[in-house]
Amino acid sequence: MKVGYMKLQLLLIILLLVVTMTACDQKAATPAGAPGKWDSEKIVVHGLQEQDFEITLGDLKKLPAVTRRAESTRANGKKIKVDATGPLLDTFLQQYGKTQKDFSCVRFSAKDKYSIAVPHDILVNRPVILSYINKGQPLEDDAQPVQVVIPGERAMYWVGSMNRMDFETGDSRKPANKVVFLDTAARNLPQGDYQYYDSVDQAIKTQDLIAKYADINDPTVARVFMKAGDGLQKNETKTNFLSAFIKMTGQEAPKFLAPQLPQGMHIKGLLLIIYGRTAIFNYAEGTTCLPKQTFEDKEGIAFSQIVKQIGLAGGNRYKFTSADGKSIELATTDLGNGGLIYQNDQGAPAFICTGPSGKKMVDELLSIEVLP
Amino acid sequence: MVSKKYWLIGICLVLLGLVAGGMAQGVNFRFPRYIPPLKVVGDVANSLTLQDPGGVGKLEKITFQGTRYQAVKLADMINAAGPVNKAEQICLVGLDGFTSVIRAEGIDDCYIAFSAKNGWEAVNLKHPMSSNAKLLNEIVVVSDGSCRDFAFNVIDPDSQLVQITPGQLLTRPLTAFPYPEGKAVVENDGKEYESQVFTKRLVFKLSELTAVNDGENLLVMDEKGNYRLVDDGGYFEVRDNYINYLQPDTRTILERVKGVIVHPPAASITDAYYDAKHYLESGNKVLMVVLDGLTYHQYTSAVANGAAPFLEKIGSATRAVGIYPLETNVGLAAMLTGKTAEESGIAAAGDQVLKVPSIFAEAHRLKKQALLLEAGPKLLETELQPVSSTDQNGNGSADDELFDAIPANLDKGYELFMVRFHGIHDSGQRCGESAEETMQAISATDKYLAEIVSKWPGKVIIAGNPGTSDQLIGAAAKFNNHAMFVPYWRVK
């Protein structure tokens, strides 16, 4: 009886040891935001501000984190299951007044030079987690500093050891290299009556506008980007866009609209249209929402502001063309103070700058083209 | 001494077991057992993906032509997937495309077995041998098509053009379309290596089902109330037991499409918001009247029957597109915010809290006084507390009490005055959209409208609010040309 009791005691001790060893083997869960040795690892951010900048993993850890369970399959069939903890990409973007939906794609690059562009439809439909903890533990060294996790998407999008984010707006096409001023262009286009509630306003056809001032047959154009002065941004299909009008007078002008389009698709206070490589910019609307600048006795919008709004392709020379077809070519060094777009006495946009070669002016400004 | 001997034997056995286990692991490692997936798709509530022969139903031992099988009954598999309405055909599809189609009734002697040699295999004891397809990868359940709520619907304002189920579509010719998923790039030794990834999708063009002109606008709606106005450049994908819309050029994807409207009218019930906002901004007083349950079809019937003289007198209504799902609160939210269910945050019967500002917020911004009087329970949380009328006289409708409450408020200086009647909805639900009782409810509402509109000194917007059709509401309601369109008026 005594021997049996001793055996039982021995068995219990062994069991206790086994349980203790197992428990010791399990690491304590790492809380979100806890400091770690990779906190100073840098991630380059491109496309959010005028110039690239760097953030660290430590910066990301300061943001509110979420934990999401997700599963994905690699190309070799291997399943990956994660409990990913980290800030949402939207939380990160919130600091810059942006959301995922604002971008046509976001390219994530890894330290091993792997990269993938996450397209707009995924950005619109899926949360993106900038994960630094998996299943309660810091990431493996080869995934540091951040593992991108997009629940519901293929593993090819789950970029580990992510060290660069490129945010792209508009489409993945080349940036615009020409800006046409709607205020001037509309004067040279046929305008028709447009019944708008109780008033009859004047409107131009978008088809006429694009046929005259852009490449209407550009095969790369599937969608047309539009932005309003109040910040509203929309992409419209080429077909819908080309079947519509821009109401140039009356309430809420300039307004993108069409009798066959629901009112929810109309855009009031139209500031910008990007059709392929041509941007259409409305100066008058710009004065309501963009910072103003004064040059000599003229108040207007800095040329650099318009370049920024449009995301105009970089260049060393620009061609400024007026409504009568006359043009001047200026190198960036000729712009001196940078140049100002202002409204002339006839209410049309005009351009002025003073550089090393003296004062240059273009009245009734129709377009500015970036020269190669 | 004996005890020690047993201990030694025990230890040896454990070691032997460990060695044997390790060897078995090694064998498994070298020869992993892989069972290809078998999917049960089509007209089923839940599509299944099986990788375990005993995963669904009980494995039975059967013998067929001298071969013994462990197999599961086909009927058990189908039942596990939940056939929608009455299953008519079962298609047994092999990896090489070989397909045998059997009738869904009389499958008691049909089995599905798995073997290393033939993969998933149909063992039909009483059917012709040709039905015993091997290397199966899909079982498609095809219903008789009578389940309209499950179907993919194509309508135009006047008619139902197509009603077809995912199962029926899977038996038609479909195109295997390589849908671009993304392009990964990696740089090695200064050179970039790319990998373009595609997924093969089974798609069809709408023009394969019904006549659609090139470049024609289509309004595609999903079951959650998202919608896209697109052209015929996109594809419809048949995925398991539902339909998606894909536009590869713009990477637009709309999942679980409920229906498509061909030649959609430009007017929508969301116009109520934009019109009211325009009038308020223009300095007009606005009366908005919402008629829950009134469809365009009912309106035309009522006018034809002389049941709505006032509505006839104020001129033809514009036919406006409603919002899916067909719930009263979803439609009301669309009218108050100008947004679809996806954006307003009101996408189901229980939803109450708006995600975006309503017309009442606009009125507040413009410093205009607003009032919402409504019959029936409060449906939404807005910036304005509504005043609700209840059925105090027990006549089955609170519309008469609501009407009585209106005159006292008309001259209180409100610049946005909104009234929501609910009687037509109640009658439609109770008796049917074309029933005499429902026509009487329309007639009663018509009289109320004549009275209120004559006393209102500003602009008037009247809109039907979809939400009733043959006693079905919400996601169960039919996506058809009767339910999806409502009458809409801008008066004065």
List the domains of chain B with CATH numbers: 38-143 (3.90.420.10), 148-262 (no CATH), 271-491 (3.40.720.10)
Beta bridge partners of B230: B218
Extract the runs of DSSP E, i.e. beta strands, from A187-338.
192-196, 199-205, 223-228, 233-237, 245-247, 255-257, 270-275, 278-281, 293-295, 298-302, 317-322, 327-331
Tens-digit pLDDT profile for residues A312-362: 877 789 999 999 999 999 998 888 888 999 999 999 999 999 988 889 999
pLDDT at B57: 82
- Domain-located, residue A7: no
Same domain, A120 and A195: no
Q: Is the pLDDT of residue B470 over 50?
A: no
* Averaged confidence pLDDT in chain A: 89
- Domain-located, residue A16: no
- Look at strands A162-168 and A42-46 and give their pairing: parallel
Same domain, A219 and A294: yes
pLDDT at B225: 83
Q: Which domain holds residue A257?
A: 178-371
Least confident window among A48-57, A361-370, B27-36, B119-128: B27-36
- Domain-located, residue A21: no
Percentage of chain A surpassing pLDDT 70? 91
pLDDT at A316: 85
Tens-digit pLDDT profile for residues B349-404: 889 999 999 999 999 999 999 999 999 888 999 999 999 999 999 988 999 999 99
Same domain, A107 and A212: no
CA nearest neighbour of B327 among B483, B440, B132, B182: B483
Element (H, E) at B344: helix B341-344
Distance CA A269, CA A285 (A): 6
Q: Domain count of chain A?
A: 2
Beta-carbon separation of A156 and B182 below 8 A: yes
How many angstroms away from the CA of B271 is the closest CA of chain A? Answer: 6
Least confident window among A155-159, A269-273, B197-201, B329-333: B197-201
Same domain, A287 and A247: yes
Beta-carbon separation of B282 and A197 below 8 A: yes
Beta-carbon separation of A237 and B250 below 8 A: yes
- Domain-located, residue A158: yes
Q: Is the pLDDT of residue B25 over 70?
A: no
The answer to whether residue A118 neighbours chain B at the CB level (below 8 Å) is yes
Distance CA A163, CA A56 (A): 9
User: Mind giving me the DSSP string for A275-302?
Assistant: ETTEEEE-HHHHHHHS--EEETTEEEEE
Same domain, A150 and A234: no
pLDDT at A152: 81
Beta-carbon separation of B270 and A237 below 8 A: no
Tens-digit pLDDT profile for residues A176-207: 899 999 999 999 999 999 999 999 999 999 99
Distances (CA, A) of A90 to A101, A103, A131, B341: 9, 11, 13, 22
- Domain-located, residue A29: no
pLDDT confidence bin for B262, thresholds 50/70/90 = very high
pLDDT at A23: 46
Q: Is the pLDDT of residue B170 over 50?
A: yes
Which of A107, A142, A168 represents a domain boundary (last residue)? A168
Same domain, A106 and A252: no
Tokens of B284: 């007009």
pLDDT at B197: 84
Distance CA B264, CA B260 (A): 9
Same domain, A234 and A345: yes
Beta-carbon separation of B338 and A264 below 8 A: yes
The answer to whether residue A211 neighbours chain B at the CB level (below 8 Å) is no
pLDDT at B199: 84
Q: What is the ipTM of this complex?
A: 0.75
A136: domain CATH number?
3.90.420.10
Residues of B in contact with A266 (CB under 8 A): 274
Angle, helices B436-455/B296-304, rounded to nearest 10 degrees: 90
Tens-digit pLDDT profile for residues A209-245: 999 999 999 988 888 999 999 988 888 888 889 999 9
The answer to whether residue A101 neighbours chain B at the CB level (below 8 Å) is no
B:93-152 residues touching chain A, CB 8 A cutoff: none
Rounded (10°) CA dihedral B82, B87, B89, B93 = -10
Tokens of A345: 């006495």
Contact B110, B69 (CB under 8 A): no
Residues of B in contact with A166 (CB under 8 A): none
Which of A134, A168, A202 represents a domain boundary (last residue)? A168
Tens-digit pLDDT profile for residues A71-129: 887 776 678 899 999 999 999 999 988 889 888 789 999 999 999 989 877 888 789 99
pLDDT at A223: 84
How many angstroms away from the CA of A259 is the closest CA of chain B? Answer: 7
Same domain, A139 and A187: no
Same domain, A204 and A309: yes
Tens-digit pLDDT profile for residues B230-259: 888 899 999 999 999 998 776 678 889 999
The answer to whether residue B451 neighbours chain A at the CB level (below 8 Å) is no
pLDDT at A86: 96
- What's the whole-model pTM score? 0.80
Same domain, A222 and A322: yes
Rounded (10°) CA dihedral B177, B183, B186, B190 = 100
Beta-carbon separation of A264 and B251 below 8 A: no
Tens-digit pLDDT profile for residues B38-88: 999 999 999 999 988 888 888 999 999 999 999 999 999 999 999 998 899
- Domain-located, residue A36: no
A:132-171 residues touching chain B, CB 8 A cutoff: 154, 156-157
- Domain-located, residue A18: no
Percentage of chain B surpassing pLDDT 70? 92
CA nearest neighbour of B35 among B91, B118, B98: B118
pLDDT at B424: 94
pLDDT at B26: 41
Distance CA B335, CA B327 (A): 13
Beta bridge partners of B489: B462
Phi and psi for B347 in degrees, rounded to 5? -125, 0
Q: Is the pLDDT of residue B19 over 60?
A: no
Terminal C-alpha separation, chain B? 112
Same domain, A224 and A183: yes
Same domain, A182 and A125: no
- Domain-located, residue A10: no
Which of A168, A187, A211 represents a domain boundary (last residue)? A168
pLDDT at A172: 53
CA nearest neighbour of B276 among B490, B121, B89, B111: B490
The number of CA neighbours under 13 Å toward the Cβ of B294 is 34
| Among A237, A267, A268, the residue to mutate for chain B (most B Cβ within 10 A) | A237
Distance CA B12, CA B6 (A): 10
Q: For residue A76, what are the contacts with CB-CB under 8 A and spacing of at least 6?
A: none
